Structure 1
Amino acid sequence: MADDALLFVLPERHPLLGAALSAVGGLECAESPAVLGWLHAHGLPASSERVRIVPAGAAVLVPEEAERLPVPLGEEETLRVEHACAPRSVTDMESELLSFRDTTQDWQSLVHRALTAGIPAPRMTAPPHAVPAAWGGRPSRVPGPVIRGRCSRTGRRGPAAAG
């Protein structure tokens, strides 16, 4: 076993990264005195959404201000962590973007997940009610939760492509 993953405490109001430790399933390291002590020191249960895990190769994604703990994993555990951290397909993300076209709630997190899934920033635009009046109160090419063009899975058009 080597340090095959990195546990970290996601800072407040930061887009979700990696996978929640609780979503990966039982990892042997999660019951170790080192991990239990680390969680206790941060006042967080292992089931907290803020306790995240990424494969060692994805450590560059972890925010600099996040508290980190390298952990060893077995081969099967490493595969589970990698699978849990893998981005969803682009078509799934496009569908989610389309469903968010009438809201601004948590759109920064959604945009981050879309970019991670491989949707290019120029395909996204902010919803009209999220664009400041100084910008004319209409969609612009700033990142936002609405997909431009057609969704490759559903064929639905985003508002920027309609008309």
Structure 2
Amino acid sequence: MTDDAYLFLVDGPASPLGAPVAVVGDLECLETPAVRAWLDAQGVTAASGALRLLPPEETAAIPEGAEKLPVPLSDEELLRLRHALAPGVHARVEEELLAYRDCAGDRDALLARAVAAGIAPHRIVELTGEDPATVTAVASKAAGRRG
């Protein structure tokens, strides 16, 4: 993860990724020679719908090969950016939570299959992030059924 936000270009203004720079408001970095030169080289202005901005924690979502530029933001600018992204970020996180719920319902069965397959409990903990006590409990139950 980087400490910089990223300006990047998307294929079209309808892209859900990132916040349009115009929505975030005035940014000091847009006045720097480096950013101005980059915008000129890309043939876009700060008002372009194809120009987007993501905070440091979201920059991994930028498509590979996209034209991008790291930019420092002040705390206030970063807060405005995060507020502009909130609806989209919430929707993505909710989707992840639903996916987790769907797979977590079978957690004990999956852990039991892993134990039955001979995977060491410490390795199951490493792979799943589950609490070691939970994995040990499932392993004990599985051993009790075999015995």
TM-score tier by shorter-chain length is 0.5 to 0.7
Superposition pairs of residues 75-94 of structure 1, within 5 angstroms = 75-87=75-87
Shift, 1:69, TM fit: 0.4
Runs of 4+ in 1 over 2 A off after TM superposition: 11-16, 87-90, 115-121
Q: 1:3 to 1:14 in 2, by over 3 A?
A: same
Cα gap change, 1:62 to 1:40, in 2 (>3 Å): same
Equivalenced residue count is 96
Structure 2 counterparts to residues 13-162 of structure 1, below 5 A: 15-87=15-87, 116=92, 118-119=94-95
How big is the alpha-carbon RMSD for the aligned residues of Structure 1 and Structure 2? 2.5
The answer to whether the 8 A contact 2:16-2:88 is kept is no
- Paired residue for 1:109? none
Structure 1: state its 5+ residue gaps: 91-114, 122-163
The Cα of 1:15 is off from its aligned counterpart by 3.0
User: How far, CA to CA, are the matches of 2:3 and 2:35 in structure 1?
Assistant: 13
Contact 1:3 1:73 (8 Å CA) reproduced: no
Aligned counterparts of 1:23 and 1:29: Cα–Cα separation in 2 = 15
Matched with 1:126 is none
Name the CA shift for 1:12/1:25 in 2 (closer, same or farther; >3 Å).
closer
1:84 alignment partner AA: A
Q: 2:13, 2:49 → 1: CA distance?
A: 12
Q: Deviations over 1:91-139 (max 9, x none)?
A: xxxxxxxxxxxxxxxxxxxxxxxx5262458xxxxxxxxxxxxxxxxxx
Distance 1:37 1:17 in 2: 23
TM-score normalised by the chain length of structure 2: 0.57
Indicate the structure with greater helix content.
2
Deviation at 1:16, TM superposition (A): 2.4
Gaps of 5+ in 2: 100-147
Is the Cα contact below 8 Å between 1:5 and 1:71 reproduced in 2? yes
Identify the structure with bigger relative contact order (alpha carbons < 8 Å, sequence gap 6+): 2
**CA contact 1:7–1:51 (8 Å) conserved in 2:** yes
CA deviation vs aligned residue, 1:20-71 (integer Å, no higher than 9, x gap): 0111000100111111111100001110111000001101111112111000
